[in-house]
Amino acid sequence: MPAIQVQVPPERGSFRLDRFRPAIHRVETLAYNQRIGEWLRWPEQSNFLTVKYGLIDAEGALDRISNMKRGWDSYGAEPPDGNAVRASREILQELAGALILPSTIVPSAEGGVSIYFMTGHRTVYIESYNQGSQTLVMYDQDGTAEVLEIGPDISRTDVADRILAYLG
């Protein structure tokens, strides 16, 4: 009479990763490893592309804004001049380094360029004026506003951190 082979259930307890090792080895080809490497670098590349395309959009907006005529707002506003456009471009590049991209860029009726960053209930804008000064304004839906002149009140290198802290 043949002996009855009893099926013993696998040990319960710690998970035995070594059981999968042969399967993992089988897919570890060169292409697989390259793909995994690309995958691991993806967040970095994704950020790079987001910033790159964001800056292309911003550049397009600045080009359009820099061609406006006097009275573009129909209330006699001055068009943004070269100083305001240049200052805006510089600060956009600095902020992009901190992965901060604008929600919109518009001409300002004050004579200059306004760059907006918006979240649910909070808004930040940086206004670069034709006269050369720049202002950082942060406000919420209740109209509580903080106005800082870039230079006298806040250094340019601190602007990105300030925006991130405010918008969260």
Partner 1 sequence: MCCSGEPGHPRYRNGDPEDQLFTEGELLFRRYKAEHFQNGRLLPAAFKFPRQSFNREKYSRPEDVLHSDCCEGQKLQDGWGVLECSSTNLPTPIDGHDGRTFQFEAIHKPLECCYAHTEVCCKAEGEFIDEPSKRVRDTFRVRLAQRMTVRIKASR
List residues near partner 1 by CB under 8 A.
Answer: 71, 73-77, 103-104, 106-111, 114, 116, 118, 123, 125, 127, 135, 137, 139, 141, 143, 145, 147, 149
Which residue lies nearer to partner 1 by CB, 66 or 135? Answer: 135
Which residue lies nearer to partner 1 by CB, 55 or 68? Answer: 68
What lies within 8 Å, CB to CB, of 149 at 6+ separation is: 133, 134, 135, 136
DSSP 43-90: HHHHHHHHHHHHHHHHHHHHHHHTTPPTTTTSS-PPPP-HHHHHHHHH
Write down the least CB distance from residue 121 to partner 1, Å. 10
Which residue lies nearer to partner 1 by CB, 34 or 103? Answer: 103
Q: Are 162 and 154 in contact (CB under 8 A)?
A: yes
Which residue lies nearer to partner 1 by CB, 107 or 159? Answer: 107
Three-class SS state of 133: coil
Write down the least CB distance from residue 24 to partner 1, Å. 48
Please report where in the chains the tokens 């206004």 appear, as a residue: 127
Radius of gyration of the chain (CA): 28
Write down the least CB distance from residue 141 to partner 1, Å. 8
Write down the least CB distance from residue 111 to partner 1, Å. 8
Instruction: Give the angle 60-62-66 at the CA atoms, nearest 5°.
Output: 120
Which residue lies nearer to partner 1 by CB, 13 or 76? Answer: 76
Write down the least CB distance from residue 98 to partner 1, Å. 22
